[in-house]
Amino acid sequence: MPEPRHARKVLDSDFLSTRHHILDVAAALDRIDRAPDADVAAVDRRMQQIAEALSVLADDNPDRAERVQMVFSRPYDPAWHA
Q: What is the pLDDT along the chain (82 residues), one digit of tens a residue?
A: 889 899 999 999 999 999 999 999 999 999 999 999 999 988 999 999 999 999 999 999 999 999 999 999 988 888 888 6
Domain membership flag for residue 82: no
Residue 58 lies in a domain: yes
What total number of domains does the chain contain?
A: 2
Domain, as residue range, for 11: 7-37
For residue 3, CA distances in Å to 12, 13, 35 come to 17, 16, 46
Is position 79 within any domain?
no
Q: Which pTM was predicted?
A: 0.82
pLDDT score recorded for residue 75? 84
Q: Which helix H or strand E contains 13, and what residues bound it? A: helix 7-34
Residue 69 lies in a domain: yes
For residues 32 and 50, state if they share a domain: no
Q: Is residue 80 part of a domain?
A: no
Residue 2 lies in a domain: no
pLDDT of residue 76: 85
